[in-house]
Amino acid sequence: MTGEGPATGTGEFALIDKVFKPLAAETPAALGLTDDAAVLAPAPGRELVLTKDAMVAGVHFLETDAPGDIARKLLRVNLSDLAAMGARPIGYLLATFWPEKLALDWIMEFADGLRLDQAEFGIGLLGGDTVRTPGPLSLSLTAIGDVPAGGALRRNAAREGDLIVVSGRIGDAALGLLSLTGELAGLPDAERDYLRGRYHLPVPRLALGAALVGKVRAAIDISDGLIADIGHIAEESKLGALLDWEKVPLSAAARAALARDTALIEPILTGGDDYELAFTLPPGDAGLLEALAGAGGVPLTVIGEMTAGDGVRVRRPDGTEIPLKARGWQHF
């Protein structure tokens, strides 16, 4: 591990000693963060899976978010990528770009968040870098997991006629973000807190992802939005997708919000950050879903099917198509 600290009066190596080494203490591959790199081999018969996500204050999280929540979300969005591939998590490397005025207390709270989720998901810090930036707090995390050799779930494996299945509830995180930014007001407190919580602290569907290996065809996590991510499966599989709006699983809070404002159908279908899994399997395998839901610890819902053609369409119960302006998370 290498790096510099923020202007906390704590030198770079002291910061690594104080903040990061404890996070690596139980991970032999990290070599105690004393060396230039971590050393790691997958267990026999397994392959490593590597993913990397970056986040910037003011763009991907709010400056006022709790430091521990920022840390946990960073970790969890990466773990969700592992879940989408069917991988079980092993550990992570972390690059932190600290603004010069960031307080050491802030960093310690950030580290507390990492510690909580390391325990939650059975992973450890493997290495990384910590540098100073004149810009906003920025973070990059590389998560490492493993899958049975040859078993990684892919986006490109859907076939025409496959059922499309999603885990959990869709749209909560997008509504939570609208609430946080003030664009969705008037929610009862309990619904507001639930939706914001779904935005702040997604639950990577790791047990489900691991259970899907060898059982389903294509898989993805819903980070860009339901339409965009089903669209990724469709595009990579050279197919289209047809979703039934009334089958899309909504939380009670989302249903209540939607009852007050039907225009929320748009963020629910196209907003990101739910970090549920979507996958496809042949109609004849629908009988597997109950066992998969049990193994994953999360409800599963069939919401549509893969079709010939391309693109993702969503139909109402009367058969008409729902027009959607946005197609998912893009920064333009």
Annotated binding-site positions for Mg(2+): 36, 51, 53, 81, 129, 221, 224
Of the pair 120, 236, the CB lying nearest a copy of itself is at 236
> What's the rounded Cα separation, in Å, for the pair 77 and 274?
10
Angle at CA of residue 184, ends 205 and 249, nearest 5°: 35
DSSP 8-state symbol, 320: P
Number of residues that bind a copy of itself (CB under 8 A): 75
If one asks whether residue 117 binds a copy of itself (CB under 8 A), the answer comes out as no
CB of 241 to a copy of itself, least distance (A): 16
What is the rounded CA–CA span in Å between residue 153 and residue 166?
15
Residue 103 CA to residue 154 CA, distance in Å, equals 42
Rounded CA-CA distance 259/253 in Å is: 10
Residues 12-51 that bind a copy of itself (CB under 8 A): 12-13, 31, 34-42, 46-51
Report, in Å, the least distance between residue 204 CB and a copy of itself: 11
Residue 214 is a binding residue for a copy of itself (CB under 8 A): no
Q: Which distant-in-sequence residues (6+ apart) come within 8 Å of 236 by Cβ?
A: 154, 155, 156, 218
d(CA 110, CA 72) in angstroms, rounded, equals 8
| Nearest-approach distance from CB 64 to a copy of itself, in angstroms | 16
Rank residues 103 and 286 by Cβ distance to a copy of itself and give the closer one: 103
Give the nearest distance from C-beta 327 to a copy of itself in angstroms: 10
Q: How far is CA 239 from the centre of its chain?
A: 24
Q: Where in 228-257 is the site for a copy of itself (CB under 8 A)?
A: 232, 236
Contact 126, 38 (CB under 8 A): yes
- Binding-site positions for substrate: 60, 273, 329
Indicate whether 93 belongs to the interface with a copy of itself (CB under 8 A). Answer: yes
Output phi, psi for 204, to 5 deg. Answer: -65, 135
Place of tokens 């729902």: 322
- Of 66, 131, 302, 324, the residue at the interface with a copy of itself (CB under 8 A) is 131
Among 19, 24, 74, 95, the residue binding a copy of itself under the rule CB under 8 A is 95
Q: Which of 26, 55, 245, 324 binds a copy of itself (CB under 8 A)?
A: 55
Contact 303, 313 (CB under 8 A): no
Residues in the annotated binding site for ATP: 128-129, 155, 223
- The CA-CA-CA angle for residues 23, 28, 31, to 5°, reads 80
Tokens representing 3? 């790096």
* Among 24, 111, 147, 248, interactor with a copy of itself by CB under 8 A: 147
C-beta closer to a copy of itself: residue 179 or 237: 237
- Shortest separation between residue 46's beta carbon and a copy of itself, angstroms: 8
CB of 138 or CB of 251, closer to a copy of itself: 138
* CA–CA distance, 253 with 127 (Å, rounded to integer): 40
Of positions 71, 94, 173, 178, contacts a copy of itself by CB under 8 A = 94
| Identified binder of a copy of itself from the candidate list 25, 119, 149, 291, rule CB under 8 A | 149
Tell me how far, at minimum, the Cβ of 220 lies from a copy of itself, in Å.
Answer: 7
Question: Nearest Cα to 109, choosing from 71, 59, 61?
Answer: 71
Verify binding: residue 162, a copy of itself, rule CB under 8 A: no
